[in-house]
Every structure is written in C-alpha cells, then in structure tokens.
Amino acid sequence: MIPAPSHLAGELDRLRAAHLYRTPRVLEGPQGPRPRIDGRRLLAFCSNDYLGLANHPQVIAAFKRGADTYGVGSGAAHLITGHSAAHQALEEELADFTGRPRALLFATGYMANLGVISALAGRGDQVCEDRLNHASLLDGALLSRARLRRYAHADPRALAPLLDGTGARLIATDGVFSMDGDLAPLPELAALAQGADAWLLVDDAHGLGVLGAEGRGSLAHFGLGPEQVPILVGTLGKALGTAGAFVAGSRELIETLIQRARSYIFTTAPPPAVAEATRESLRIARRESWRRERLQALIRRFRAGAAELGLPLMDSATPIQPLVAGTARQALSWSSRLEALGILVSAIRPPTVPEGSARLRITFSAAHQEQDVDQLLEALDSLGYRNNDNRGTILCRK
C-alpha cells in the first residue's frame, strides 16, 4: 500500500529503524578498483565492471569520437529519428557475437525485460520464473498481465508441474543470478521448454563477457544455441563497461519487439556515443581472453583463502561471491567495519534479497590485483570468523 503524503516521513523512519534505509554514494571519478567515494579513496569490491573496461582508454576514445560525430543526445526514439548508424552497427555486431540473426538495443536491462515479456505474453498466458529472478523479469510478467508462476530456485523438477495446462507459455530465468552468483540449470530448463512448446528467455546480464568462449556467456558455457534458448537478453553496463541492453533472437522475434515492445517504442534512443564506446569494448572483450583468465584466477585465490579462514561463502564460480549475514543489521555492521579498514563492499538487504538472507555481495574485476584479494581476505579475517564470533548469525542456503 502506498502511504498517504502525510505519512511519508513515518514510512522513512520505519525503514531506518529496520536497517533498510538506502543512501546513494557519490563517485568522484572513474570506475575502478580504487575509486574515490564520498571524498575517500577505497578498495572496492562491489562493482559489476567485471572485465575492467568502464575506464579503458580505447573505450573512452571511442566514446569521444562518437560524440564528435553524432553529438551528445540521440534526440528521438529509435522509430523516429533516433536510430543512428552507430546503433545499427552495434546491433549487427551483438547479433554476430551471440550467434543470432538479429539484436535490438534497449536503454536499460530493466526496459529490455519489461519490453520482451509484455510483448510476448498477455492475459490468459502463463509466465514461469525462478523465485530468485531479477526484479525486472518479475515486473515484466506483472506488466504483461499474464499469470506469473514462480518455481523454487534453480529447480527444474519444481518447474515441470507448472507447464501442464493450456495457454501460451514463457519461461524466464537469469543466466547468472545477480545476488547469489550461481548459474541457472539451463540445459534442463531448455529441455522442459521444448517439451512444453514454451519460449525460454535467459537474462544473461552477469554471464555475458565473463563466461564461455570469447565471453559469449552462460549459454556458451553450457553449449546451448538459439534452438534451445530463443530469447537472449544482455546488458552492456556490466562486463562491457558502458550502458544499455539488448535482446537477441530470430528476425521474427526482433520485428515483433519493434512493433510491440512499449519500452522500446516509447523511449528516446541511447546516445550514439555510448553505442560507439560499446562497439570498442565488445571488440576488446572478444579478443583479450586474458581478462577472463585473470578474473577466474582471482576468484580461485579468494575462495581458497576464504576456505582457510572458514568463511561460509555461497557456491559460486562467478565474480559474484556472496557472504550471507542473515539480518540487515549484521550486513550493515560488516560493511561498516570493512569500510573503516579502507574496503568498500555493499550490504545487500531486503527486498533485493529474501528476508533473512542479507549479505555482503563481494564482486571481482579483471582490474583487481592479487594483493587486492589478499587485502580483502585480511580484512574479512578481522571480522572474527576464526574465533567463531559471527558464525551463529550466518545463514547458508547452499
């Protein structure tokens, strides 16, 4: 229920008392392992810049060339006069990267998921989603007015009974779950989708650029193609270091989205300079495999060190390494204690994660160094796990 205007202050007080109040931090320079935040230089482990491309000089140069050529703003929606040659070239290159006939740009990943689900599903249809899906996937189903049915996390056996009955069906899942770092069981989901004649949509925001050959993502990791996963959603503001998102699929799918996806039709196109920057970051991500290799080496180093310290990490082989605290108060306390040591790791609290599973969401970038990982481990050790000071508050689902 939306509080009345006179009650807003009371609702804000309630959030503060529940340790759920949020305040933006101010970044005072470029993204990187040691950004300047709120006037202080910190070693950060909470960015999604997995390949270290957000401040890459070649990407910056491409952005500047794009601004010189196209100006700053696109000035209109794609279907009016906002679709530049830079947008067109990026869509073609993303289609080639993902091995699909077409790709379509959206302003954000949130808008991509809203657009594709609401364009393909409606009243009388059914959308099945993993219980831990990103909010944009859940909201896309709600916006479509289809029946939303949620299955137990990463459990194909829980999904199977939901596919009985009539009505067009769509199954939607994260490829890599943004708060847990684990992978969806995509081969099993693909088999269920094909058996039920249902669409399968995979939002690979946190897999593209990181997993698979050339960073083609979680589908490449499992050896799946367009026949098994007909709808692929990807974002550009994580491993590729820029901004925006895309949907890749068949020609018929993309043409349908152009005609029916409201979040595409009624939105100003992203700046063409961002598209030019993304074209460069995509080229770097594809050719510089050492970035993924370094990232995996850093993850292995961290997990090995965490095991020696007795840290109860969740089961993740991706750059997302959650340390579950349980309560929002405990997660905030850990985050504050780390910040006092010069390390920034954000506390993630409900409703972003389920009640009782507030956590530190530790993330790594190819721009980190081994000594950065060691410094983080030393700081985490100071929280007192060796002496069992905090283990009673930990809730591990895996």
Q: Which residues are catalytic?
A: 178, 206, 238
Q: Among candidates 95, 99, 46, 58, which has minimal Cα distance to 225?
A: 99
Tell me how far apart the alpha carbons of residues 183 and 181 are, in angstroms, rounded to a whole number.
7
Tell me the β-bridge partners of 126.
Answer: 147, 169
Tell me the β-bridge partners of 359.
Answer: 324, 348
In the numeric block, which tokens belong to residue 247?
């949907």
Tell me the β-bridge partners of 40.
Answer: 37
Tell me how far apart the alpha carbons of residues 7 and 332 are, in angstroms, rounded to a whole number.
26
In the numeric block, which tokens belong to residue 242?
């820029």
Q: Kindly give the pairing relationship between strand 245-249 and strand 231-235.
A: antiparallel
Q: Among candidates 54, 31, 27, 62, which has minimal Cα distance to 291?
A: 54
Tell me the β-bridge partners of 358.
Answer: 326
Q: Among candidates 350, 202, 374, which has minimal Cα distance to 301?
A: 374
Residues 6+ apart with CB under 8 A from 126: 146, 147, 149, 162, 165, 167, 168, 169, 170
Tell me how far apart the alpha carbons of residues 283 and 139 are, in angstroms, rounded to a whole number.
33
**Which amino acid type is present at position 56?**
H
